[in-house]
Structure 1
């Protein structure tokens, strides 16, 4: 089994088309087909089901793909380790992040870090809560910033950095816009704007509402926090969103109101893999992030 064969296999699996894979690899289609055939002959199984020019993975091919993606990540990590050990302050950090952390928390952390380590590069990957856990578990990245922080996942180590409140965002002309606080049950008849299904923040809000005997009437969904805020600004409904998404970024025509009874909060933190060492540059960043939030907490207290 050759590294070239593995790379060809992964590219074909991603594109489900040999010609497209060959074009992206800048090699002849015949070369890709030949290497895939050799790989299947060596393994003694069919990795693909052929359907004209298109292909799709067999069940065993799907298993093989997951293992080979992980293997390539290990190889890439090994190359990066060698490079970073010569100068860990010039390495690259691969990090996932949740969209709700992209407006304030993530830029604040990276900006502070780059002041001390200006030569470090970042490769940022956005995803929802479940995608980020999978990203780190499968070795696509060695860390991710997300909320809430998983603390019982055997494949991950979750470090809580802070806790933040979920607040109500209302149009400025809303009848309750002048209230200093809102009780959750006061919103039972409202039209809610939320993240789509499979977003953890949506699940948290729905569960909080159900504790007060109602299910929120969801009229609009947005996978991007700015889209949600824009819909509220247009007067199309209300939303419950993390307070950090409104720091220096309150949309025009809206008002932010704290929610009481219950106070809804979420943890914010960073996850790394259990049993897999961080790369040298990543270790510097991980320690920096923990110290950064520790300093903020001491300052606030």
Structure 2
């Protein structure tokens, strides 16, 4: 006699997998192709899911399609389940030979210029058979990927201390600096207090970025609410805005060189952000991932975790 639970899961799995794709892809034809089914089948599956849960799981949005709230709940469950399956499959493959494993590494945009490439180059010199998938994003997005199993490790700041779902290893402290355009009244200063930036408009990273949270805390402690004229997603974009005299900002110091149209001034008192690796406390790390974590710790001068 068939187990109704097993039958139900077998029926549900491919349909919910389609929702996972639709969460990222607003075109049904492309989503169906990515899910490996014809579009008519995808349309039928959406209708069947709506019948099962008693409410639509997707709705038209202009020429595209978007998930409803109910569809989003199912898609998030599918993302978590798929992440667990990917983790288990990769761990099983890598267990036999950690030198040919796969690592999904996610990191902040501000670390993609020098820090991550140098780290990867040093590691691959010793472990050429390990493959990487690299993803960039804001700190909240990186933590979400880690929770769902889409990333094995993230390189981020600030570290999510106090969250029992994560383990972490601090690797470095990176100074924060005031970034002003050349010719700005503060440009010749050797140090600058945050309050001295009060007369200038600010350009800032969008909410959700780790640096944005750190800078907002610093400004709040100084009793200063900035006049934000522009918000961007990447530090290099903000430096370009500063060079165009659209405002000033506070960012991690440039690696390796500042934008030629800007001047970077150390803060007084000094401020910095702590950069580190973070991984899930709920899933064992595959051997190749452990090897990379240990290498990153040793390269930073820390004793590798055991």
Q: Tell me the TM-score normalized by structure 2.
A: 0.84
Shift of 1:46: 4.2
Going from structure 1 to structure 2, the CA distance change for 1:235 and 1:284 (only over 3 Å counts) comes to: same
Report the counterpart of residue 279 of structure 2 in structure 1: 272
**Does residue 131 of structure 1 match 2:131?**
no
Shift of 1:22: 2.5
SS at the partner of 1:149? Answer: coil
* d(CA) in 1 for partners of 2:34, 2:166: 34
**Does residue 223 of structure 1 match 2:233?**
yes
* d(CA) in 1 for partners of 2:97, 2:287: 9
Report the counterpart of residue 265 of structure 2 in structure 1: 257
* d(CA) in 2 for partners of 1:222, 1:58: 28
Moved more, 111-120 or 57-66: 57-66
* 8 A Cα contact 1:165 1:265, kept in partner: yes
- Aligned mate of 2:181, from 149, 171, 175: 171
Report the counterpart of residue 150 of structure 1 in structure 2: 160
Report the counterpart of residue 199 of structure 1 in structure 2: 209
SS at the partner of 2:289? Answer: helix
Matches within 5 A, 1:46-195: 46=54, 48-49=56-57, 57=67, 59-195=69-205
Going from structure 1 to structure 2, the CA distance change for 1:170 and 1:62 (only over 3 Å counts) comes to: closer
SS at the partner of 1:182? Answer: coil
Shift of 1:150: 1.2
Task: Give the unaligned 5+ runs of structure 2.
Answer: 1-8
Going from structure 1 to structure 2, the CA distance change for 1:252 and 1:91 (only over 3 Å counts) comes to: same
Going from structure 1 to structure 2, the CA distance change for 1:209 and 1:103 (only over 3 Å counts) comes to: same
Task: Give the unaligned 5+ runs of structure 1.
Answer: 297-301
Shift of 1:235: 2.6
SS at the partner of 1:190? Answer: coil
SS at the partner of 1:294? Answer: coil
SS at the partner of 2:151? Answer: coil
Report the counterpart of residue 293 of structure 2 in structure 1: 286
The one-character-per-residue Cα deviations of 1:95-138 (angstroms, maximum 9, x if unpaired) are 11111222222122112111111222211111111111111112
Give the root-mean-square deviation of aligned CA atoms.
Answer: 2.7
* 8 A Cα contact 2:104 2:153, kept in partner: yes
The one-character-per-residue Cα deviations of 1:229-252 (angstroms, maximum 9, x if unpaired) are 111222322221112xx1322111
* 8 A Cα contact 2:178 2:249, kept in partner: yes
Shift of 1:277: 0.9
Shift of 1:59: 5.0
**Does residue 236 of structure 1 match 2:239?**
no
* 8 A Cα contact 1:10 1:65, kept in partner: yes
* d(CA) in 2 for partners of 1:255, 1:101: 20
* d(CA) in 1 for partners of 2:16, 2:228: 45
Q: How many residues align?
A: 291
Going from structure 1 to structure 2, the CA distance change for 1:54 and 1:200 (only over 3 Å counts) comes to: closer
* d(CA) in 1 for partners of 2:64, 2:259: 47
